[in-house]
Amino acid sequence: MYKWLKKYNQFVIKKKLYVKCYSDDLKKCKIKTNQPGAFDDIPGPKSLPVIGTLYKYLPFIGEYSFTNLYESGRKRLKRFGPLVREEIVPNVNVIWVFRPEDIAEIFKAESGLHPERRSHLALLKYRKDRTDVYRTGGLLPTNGPEWWRLRKEFQKVTSKPQDVMNYLKETDHVIQEFVELCNNEKFEDFLPILSRLYLELTCLVVFGIRLNSFSKEERCENSKSSKLIKAAFTTNSVILKLDNGLQLWRFFETPLYRKLRKAQAYMEMVALELVSQKQRDMKSQHNKSFLNAYLENPALDIKDIVGMACDMLLAGIDTTTYSTAFALYHLAKNQDIQNKLRIETQQLLAHHNQPITADILRNAFYTKSVIKESLRLNPISVGIGRILQTDVVLNNYQVPKGTVVVTQNQIICRLPKYFNKPDSFIPERWLREHSESSNKIYRGKSIHPYILLPFGHGPRSCIARRFAEQNMQVLLLRMCQRFKISWHGDELGMISLLINKPNASLKFNFHEILETNGVYIKENDEV
């Protein structure tokens, strides 16, 4: 057999062959090339004519769910392996990616290009239908050079660490007001008031105004802040279904699209009002805000700025609210970890009135590791979507240009292959070796750099990431400085509404920690 192959080597030299022979008869030999498999051979659920795989998402009888993308992803991985092809809508392929090595290949392939994604399609239609208000679809759905034109201008006020620090004093002041509110009131569900905090912080930084969202007037159902929070939640709740359904909204107004239109109309009205007010105020006074910088930028016109104002209101409330909710939940459920965070807080802050400075945040190592570990267990979304702009080989399959790929980081982050005790909350995983609190037993396996990407990756990562992280750091420091946090609800899970939302009310108790002569003691303890 070997002699035969050597004799005819001239015919096979152009391809590498793996030959497994158990017979002198060539027809009985198993010959396999090392070339990537065909795109159509990628395993996945069966797609039917007209409805694709939508039948698998039907309530009660479907095995997948748009509102539980984590469990749906786990089922796909278990049945089909680390690369799955699915046609949710006929002729529109989505590739679910479960290997960090493949995720790295996706991002390497877009180097030097403008990253593209297929998202917020109904929002894009809404804005394109209103050319009197918007110039583009905004940062979220826009692709190509037009997206980069917006991104490179808008990120000028968010990309540098000092940009974030400029708002630290005001942020700390608002958060201290919030902590005082938590001390004075009891909340059956903590989520609504937490949403008000992040709306207040968003308006402070973006527009340079206070909405007074904590006031009794604003906490009424028909107030401006209440309507903004509801509009953001409604939009984020319908986007996923509008993107992945039959998209009949392209031809007539469906009930889901009507919800989006009404929610966006209100956010648009508020954005126009705030932008107009800022234009008038700039003539007589100047204060620091995103909006000030945008209005002074000659590369942006008023329609660009209105679109960005709406995007900030849409993206700035729910994402950070939910991420903070899960972080507080994990601290409440893990009192030993909460105590470690409190020790760090007491080392950094001598008393409760001491301002939080840039130096304090730079040294809040354990606080940052708590946030990172919470985002591992409960990330903002299931993963990152991209439209491939070049052919890419993933898991030894050829995936062509133009294919939609969605990374499954949320599922990967809970696999024992990549993390010791993957379902346990262990912030020490993320501490550097030189940290005194670091423990190599906790650190365990080396962590692949493309596993945890809660804010995205590359040029299209979250434009306000630094602000979100700073807000969460300040809040956790202030809450653990002032309270012992406990949980009196059932186990908290997630529901997928484009972003991952807690699936139940937030049942926290906050027990005040008193300060006496610089020493913190729990209420009712002896001094």
| Residue numbers belonging to the annotated binding site for heme | 462
CA angle, 102 then 501 then 248, to 5°: 75
Name the packing angle between helices 191-207 and 255-281 (round to 10°): 40
* Whether 158 contacts 463, CB under 8 Å: yes
Kindly report each contact of residues 178-185 with a partner whose C-beta sits within 8 Å and lies 24 or more positions away, as own/partner: 178/214, 178/475, 179/478, 179/479, 179/482, 179/483, 181/214, 182/479, 182/482, 182/483, 182/510, 183/482, 183/483, 183/510, 183/512
Max alpha carbon distance in the chain (Å)? 93
Exposed, middle or buried by CB within 10 Å (0-12, 13-18, 19+), for 463?
Answer: buried
Tokens 């002896």, located at residue: 526
What's the DSSP call for residue 46?
Answer: P
Among residues 65, 63, 70, which one has the least CA distance to residue 382? Answer: 70
Residue type, 111: S
156 sits in the region (left: phi over 0; alpha: psi -120 to 50; else beta) called alpha
Among residues 175, 140, 155, 206, which one has the least CA distance to residue 465? Answer: 155
Tokens 């696999």, located at residue: 415
End-to-end CA distance of the chain: 89
Q: How far is CA 407 from CA 46, 106, 402, 451, in A?
A: 20, 9, 16, 10
Query: What residue numbers does the annotated binding site cover?
Result: 462
Exposed, middle or buried by CB within 10 Å (0-12, 13-18, 19+), for 417?
Answer: exposed
- Contacts of residue 132, defined as CB under 8 A and 6 or more positions apart, other chains included, come to none
At 410, list the tokens. Answer: 């949320």
Write phi, then psi, for 425 (nearest 5 degrees): -90, 100
Quote the CA–CA distance of 322 and 334 in Å, as a whole number.
18
* Whether 405 contacts 399, CB under 8 Å: yes
Quote the CA–CA distance of 271 and 313 in Å, as a whole number.
8
At 18, list the tokens. Answer: 């793996």
In DSSP notation, 294-320 reads HHT-TT--HHHHHHHHHHHHHHHSHHH
